[in-house]
Amino acid sequence: MDTGRFRVPAGVMDLAIAVGVAALLLGTGLSGQHPAGERELVGAVLMAAGGLALVARRRAPIAVLAVTGLCAVGYEAAGFEVLAVSYLVAVYGAVRVGHRALTVAASVSLLVVLPLTAPAFREGPAREAFTQARNVLEIAWLIAAFAAGEALRQAERRADEAERTREETARRRADEERLHIARELHDSLTHQISIIKVQSEVAVHLARRRGEQVPETLLAIRKAGREATRELRATLEALRDDDTAPPQGLEHVRELVERARSMGLDTTLTIEGQRHDVPAAVGRTAYRIVQEALTNTARHACATTAAVRIEYRPDTLAVLVEDDGEATPDDAPAPGLGLLGMRERVTALGGRLRALPRAEHGFIVQAELPVERAS
């Protein structure tokens, strides 16, 4: 979510930290007492390498831990008395992602090896005192880095758990709302649709029993009642079980076209492109778009023909429904629930929807549904 605040990308932040640590090591090591000649060059290269290795601390924390540790041993052996800052940062990063045991083992090994790399020019009590002081300091810094990484890891874990709890609560509320809607639909629509279906069935039966010709409109009403009953049952099943989706998809679009023809609308179906599998959500949305568009055409457009075109593209599924109705460019599309529902379905998939009058006359509904994003 965009909060209006400037956020530095993680990669840029890692690069800045790596360059900063490398510069700190070089500045500290070369400004104090240090060897000359080849050992100076080797030590400088190792300090720079140890710092710059931190660029990869998020992607490969264990590898960075090993590299920074070896570099610390190397420039200590070369004669540089520099705190292993790069290794401390690597410890923090490794502990933060959960590699605690391995980090402890590596750090103990480093504390054992580093005293052995103390410069040879420090002899007697001075060397022993210096070594003890340095060991104490290194242990303190290691503990601090370990504690910081563990504290942040625990904080992130608690934040993840809180987020999961919120998601579970929201999912439970959504399930309760779905069940409530299912009960309301069952108690209200199911009864009314059943009455329409039964009465149309009885009317057709009586007409045929009397030897009369059954009107096409009555047959269409009976067929629509059957379809409405089936779709309502599928919708109720989907609402009661989130994993059970209504069966309608791209394979059922031809049935919509045949149904429109039976209602007197000359409808054609064209499928273009190389067919390939699409996510179920995309198929259902395409079906609903065609269904709603043809229903609106039959009810309101006063059209005689309609054309449905489905085009399979590599990354999208394009759906087009157009008619030759009375709509003109001067007519503004009525913001009905059907159009609103289509737009919500398409937007939820990250697609685009156009619903507007054609340039000459008629209406067009065009949708582009991204396939990969819906997956």
Read off φ and ψ for residue 271, nearest 5 degrees.
Answer: -120, 125
Per-residue pLDDT 10s for the chain (375 aa) are 444 455 667 778 888 888 888 888 888 777 766 777 788 888 888 888 888 988 888 888 888 888 888 888 888 787 787 777 888 888 888 888 888 888 888 878 877 777 776 554 444 454 554 455 455 556 766 777 777 777 887 887 887 777 777 777 777 787 777 777 777 777 667 767 777 878 888 888 888 888 888 888 888 888 888 888 777 777 776 666 654 444 578 899 999 999 888 878 899 999 999 888 888 889 988 998 998 888 888 776 678 899 999 999 988 999 999 998 887 777 665 555 567 778 888 888 889 999 888 888 889 999 999 987 544
Distance CA 68, CA 50 (A): 5
Distance CA 164, CA 11 (A): 27
Predicted TM-score (pTM) of the model is 0.41
Sole residue written with tokens 């370990």: 146
From residue 79, give the alpha-carbon distance in Å to each of 59, 84, 87, 114: 31, 13, 18, 12
From residue 149, give the alpha-carbon distance in Å to each of 85, 90, 163, 340: 15, 10, 21, 49
